Structure 1
């Protein structure tokens, strides 16, 4: 039976004849293999820590230095300038060794110290090189002499780096000056305020800069000297973990499957290949064989911080009454699968080896065919993770702290990741493709509000017709990290593992595999009441979400680049134009930018609504002459690129102001300026989802084999959440969310405005074709007649 308990390693009973001991050889074998697997991982981690610790050199370079020093001494010259002799004099074992051995040992010790000094120097040089960011502000094709010298970073970067090889060489995030931050802030809000409001805000900012700001800045600089990153820990705690509202819709995000292709219509087969691919990725992650991600604008020269990858698997968000925590365990050998109200523990390792895709498919099919009904109160248990955090924290402490409930909850939280086998079908083909994409997005974002475990680092959803998707928890990492995993699994599933002619996974099945174990629960009536309350909160939130997803295929980055414009700046200007046309005003706009060029960096805000962008939009809508509109557009796009580069290089506005606000709270002082800044709503929250591993996909020959990207819920009740993914040369996917409860927002109408704005901008930037005069028209007519 699926709910049967697993066999224990041994059993014993006391009889009149003595103790009757019965050993389970299978269980003992599993324990032995599990221990061997654990020790292998420890050895791999130890080896990788050594390799990473001496990077950009290699451990083998130590032997080269030793041989070089000994060879030099063999020629009767002293490369140490007397240091080897000094070491020989102070050797503690000199009395029990021959003179020749003492010389060799002294030379080896000197070589080791020289090698460590060389490594320290190389790492210091690499850190200085990685701290240089002026290259980002130079025009394309015009490289300064300093940047040409900086290109030495390629030499100091070493060969075949491991995932964490650069961590010790990445620079710390700098703290901007109060003066620069206040100046940029006032500049960013100028198009959003009338003269009276702006004058008032300028006064508040000036008072803050000349008084309290300097005191708060001193504490922040002190933290920056002590911590690896002065922002990230506070950002994780106060923005994510201390949020007391639902994380479903408000925080979690999703990623979609291939746009128009379903590799197999068999649900269990798609899960088999995909789950196997996830564990192949985890194996590469444990061995640090994943190539460090590089900045997209640096032609793979400048590495990004990889620390967010550490908690990708075996991680869960744990609710608390004041603040949640992120808990990470050692590698789990199982996943938890949800199907029709039941939770199953599915082991993916047998006898120390990873199950094949076909075997995982076999186990998944067992779950699909299992007729066992859910335990009382089990079916909608996941709603606790979808509702408010405080009720969930109290229920967890009261009803899940002991007994069978604790064991089952621990099983879910410690799993490698969470899987949902959904009975619904999702598809973007057919006459209703537009509406089907919207339903697909909503399903991935919140599902039925109880059939996902929103606290897990990520949950994978497999639909009845073979479609799949992913839902990510936001506190432990940002979307590009999960997207990197998702790209790998999509490509591995379809292009490497593949399916047979019937649509099943390839390979054979070991029919003796133990059945997946159904988790048991004892849900009390008062706990069921709390589940119902959480579900009601989550359902109201989910029903209020309005979603629109559409692929824009009229043109893409290929045509935009021909106009000598950054595709990202082009889209952001289109969004400003679309919003202005819909609402008749401008709004505070959030565009996410990474700060992973710095150690433990996460994100920074690009305030895309600027004086330049608003001037361009007004000129376009006011009917200015074309040269004037072109000039203003160029100025707006260049300003956007400047703001983006400033954010990436640690000179953004919002994270600095956020940290100053946190310091003020710790000190117990009030700042009217900071309080007002932090309370301003982001009515347009945007993010680009980049394709990081282009080499995994063939966008020219197989454009259908590409993810539709992902999206997130609205940040403000009266605003839009908007994600876009630039794919290949001729496709841009948009994901738009807002709330039905706001009469001023409509995802579909805003989508139509975006389409119109994109066409208007490309028409403006494209060269005007000269109309033929009458003489030329007559000549063309004569040619046609001939």
Structure 2
């Protein structure tokens, strides 16, 4: 670490005080640097070499050289000029052009989901779970408003990621002992930007004909609730402050007990938020003039709550299918039971299972993930439930009934609702979700091999994808740039020449284990170098994206930038966050940890893969693809991932015995033993009514 960096860190530590608040470090954060355009183009060519034929690569290299000769200097000059006056040279354009100007449906294409605990449900009572969870979420908002949430500081290997629905991070509070981790980040002192926390609550994405915009309110004292096609406004505060969990449970139970039917077309109204954005913008103008109060109650809510009529979660009868169905319900639902414009929708199923559906434009997943960890830990361990499954405390009979929202829907929007519903149902039906916990080894085994856990998984994914498709592809893995002011994400292009060499060696029956292991370590080292570059603002994709935007503003045609902009990410990957390990007792309560979440594929013929390390000995994978594609199959890729992980583990002496034992068991069973297998994991599905 250089002397100026050490001095800067020391000054930041001194002037932030002993008890820094959430936004204490914002003024001290550096601006994201603009990389050298020559370096960026060189790195780009290096990244695409493994997946292009000699002829295609020569053509791409020619376009790159023409770009450097003709347009690069001018575009780079404008970009540096912007970096001098803008807070961040890329983040505002990223938000606008990747998210707000996209005209596609938010459902599947942009939103992502988070799951509840995998093996336990603290209470089977739907209203009680909703009461505790809503109260915990509003407690988090209270801490947020008072800046009582501790700011996160970067440390070795910390990464955050989101691709238009993807996301990930590793543990920011734990040191990673691998010698391959960038040592300049091991201090755990460098603060990360907290700007994205501001819009978690009271935020809605408002559709526009050409461009959406984000509406954020300073406060909101109610939540909007959807149940059986009806909308309600539920106040969250009384004159004495935030309602107790038991009082909130009472209000949700009143909604569940309300026998009134949905009004015509009201039941499917929310499908409009899953429609193409320009269509929804036009319909919303009519809706606003006819049902302004009801629309304002939804869009002005702290967040949206959906009380589903169906159960969800892991079941003993069919563990694999139940998890797949659970993921699908969170990602897409039925197409008309989520308000996809809200910053997030809390989904509470009839058996007490939970989940989140999160809109993506306002922030990246580590922000909502931080909130979700606090929520699960608080509602389960701090608030708890009584022996009969209800929230602790007593109901409040003086509370007014939840307010039913009435929509005066003009006849001219009825066809639009029907059209939006058909489109949403078609999109929902096209998604193939597959979730499976891999329980044969986890983070502890990988650390014992002195490797980065993320790099280990990424190389296994390259092997699995090659076996699935017989070829390599551009791979998107997100890395955080929150080391810089208002930084968001950068791409780690995980399909490297080193990774391809390793995969080919694994598929070559003549290569020895030491040879494969040597190539594997080279691939891991390369991945770590790319990760370090991405985190430090020296990545490829955000720079090329910003150059492309400048070229569009200046009406300069660049075949090279146009080709880069048109690339398809057939494999989009991300690791899921467990950021606040101090909130969970993995040793005494190993089942009380979120089972992660996932996102839709970035390409119609591609996969979306996310993964979470659950404790030390399990990795849960979330895979998505399109059923309409003849080239992909989420379950098939899941089997390849399992086999790839075991094959990579077998390269290490510690993994050979484990792998032999598992494969012998699978052969004896005579069928696929893909976790969660009925004989291994189903017995852990429990419902607890006390903590």
TM-score by length of 2: 0.89
Residue matched to 2:599: 712
Match of 2:317, SS?
A: coil
Residue matched to 2:226: 338
User: Is it true that 1:255 corresponds to 2:114 in the alignment?
Assistant: yes
Work out which of the residue numbers 140, 157, 167 in structure 2 matches 1:281.
140
User: Is it true that 1:535 corresponds to 2:421 in the alignment?
Assistant: yes
Deviation (angstroms), 1:391: 0.9
CA separation in 2, counterparts of 1:767 and 1:532? 58
User: Is it true that 1:653 corresponds to 2:548 in the alignment?
Assistant: no
CA separation in 2, counterparts of 1:768 and 1:743? 35
Deviation (angstroms), 1:526: 2.4
CA separation in 2, counterparts of 1:382 and 1:594? 33
Deviation (angstroms), 1:194: 1.3
Match of 2:191, SS?
A: coil
Residue matched to 1:295: 154
Gaps of 5+ in 1: 1-134, 136-143, 771-786
CA separation in 2, counterparts of 1:189 and 1:577? 17
Residue matched to 1:690: 577
Bigger Cα displacement from structure 2, 165-174 vs 346-355: 346-355
- Which structure has more RCO (C-alpha within 8 Å, separation ≥ 6)? 2
User: Is it true that 1:160 corresponds to 2:19 in the alignment?
Assistant: yes
Deviation (angstroms), 1:431: 3.0
Residue matched to 1:202: 61
CA separation in 1, counterparts of 2:655 and 2:33? 46
User: Is it true that 1:744 corresponds to 2:621 in the alignment?
Assistant: no
Work out which of the residue numbers 329, 345, 350 in structure 1 matches 2:238.
350
Residue matched to 2:472: 586
- Superimposed CA distance per residue, residues 239-277 of structure 1 (whole angstroms, 9 cap, x where no aligned partner): 001111101000000000001110000000001101000
CA separation in 2, counterparts of 1:438 and 1:253? 15
Residue matched to 1:491: 377
User: Is it true that 1:190 corresponds to 2:77 in the alignment?
Assistant: no
Gaps of 5+ in 2: 157-185, 658-691
Residue matched to 2:200: 312
CA separation in 2, counterparts of 1:201 and 1:245? 29
CA separation in 2, counterparts of 1:556 and 1:427? 22
Deviation (angstroms), 1:178: 0.5
CA separation in 2, counterparts of 1:655 and 1:391? 30
CA separation in 2, counterparts of 1:691 and 1:392? 35
Work out which of the residue numbers 297, 300, 320 in structure 2 matches 1:414.
300
1:438-449 equivalent positions in 2, closer than 5 A: 438-449=324-335
Residue matched to 2:398: 512
Deviation (angstroms), 1:627: 2.2
Deviation (angstroms), 1:352: 4.1
CA contact (8 A) 2:609 2:622 kept: yes
Match of 1:764, SS?
A: coil
User: Is it true that 1:270 corresponds to 2:129 in the alignment?
Assistant: yes
Match of 2:153, SS?
A: coil
Which structure shows the higher helix fraction? 1
Residue matched to 1:780: none
Deviation (angstroms), 1:407: 1.2
CA separation in 1, counterparts of 2:577 and 2:233? 34
Residue matched to 1:43: none
User: Is it true that 1:174 corresponds to 2:33 in the alignment?
Assistant: yes
Match of 2:41, SS?
A: helix
Match of 2:357, SS?
A: strand
- Superimposed CA distance per residue, residues 50-99 of structure 1 (whole angstroms, 9 cap, x where no aligned partner): xxxxxxxxxxxxxxxxxxxxxxxxxxxxxxxxxxxxxxxxxxxxxxxxxx
User: Is it true that 1:396 corresponds to 2:284 in the alignment?
Assistant: yes
Residue matched to 2:256: 368
CA contact (8 A) 1:563 1:766 kept: no
Deviation (angstroms), 1:620: 1.5
Deviation (angstroms), 1:524: 2.3
Deviation (angstroms), 1:156: 5.4
CA contact (8 A) 2:437 2:619 kept: yes
Larger Rg: 1
Residue matched to 2:487: 601
Deviation (angstroms), 1:151: 6.5
Distance 1:456 1:515, change over 3 A: same
Distance 1:157 1:731, change over 3 A: farther
CA separation in 1, counterparts of 2:87 and 2:126? 44
CA contact (8 A) 2:16 2:24 kept: no
Residue matched to 1:632: 519
CA contact (8 A) 1:257 1:708 kept: yes
Match of 1:642, SS?
A: helix
Match of 1:523, SS?
A: coil
Work out which of the residue numbers 556, 559, 562 in structure 2 matches 1:675.
562
CA separation in 1, counterparts of 2:259 and 2:628? 40
Residue matched to 2:618: 731
TM-score by length of 1: 0.78
CA separation in 2, counterparts of 1:769 and 1:197? 41
CA separation in 1, counterparts of 2:573 and 2:520? 20
- Give the alignment's Cα RMSD to 1 decimal: 1.5
- Superimposed CA distance per residue, residues 445-477 of structure 1 (whole angstroms, 9 cap, x where no aligned partner): 011100000000000000101001000000000
CA separation in 2, counterparts of 1:189 and 1:598? 27
CA contact (8 A) 1:726 1:732 kept: yes
Residue matched to 1:451: 337
Distance 1:486 1:521, change over 3 A: same
CA contact (8 A) 2:112 2:331 kept: yes
CA contact (8 A) 1:348 1:355 kept: yes
Deviation (angstroms), 1:159: 1.2
CA separation in 2, counterparts of 1:224 and 1:669? 20
Deviation (angstroms), 1:767: 5.4
Residue matched to 2:368: 482
CA separation in 2, counterparts of 1:455 and 1:729? 36
Distance 1:657 1:296, change over 3 A: same
- Superimposed CA distance per residue, residues 161-209 of structure 1 (whole angstroms, 9 cap, x where no aligned partner): 1000000000000000110000000000000111111111111101111
CA separation in 1, counterparts of 2:111 and 2:155? 25
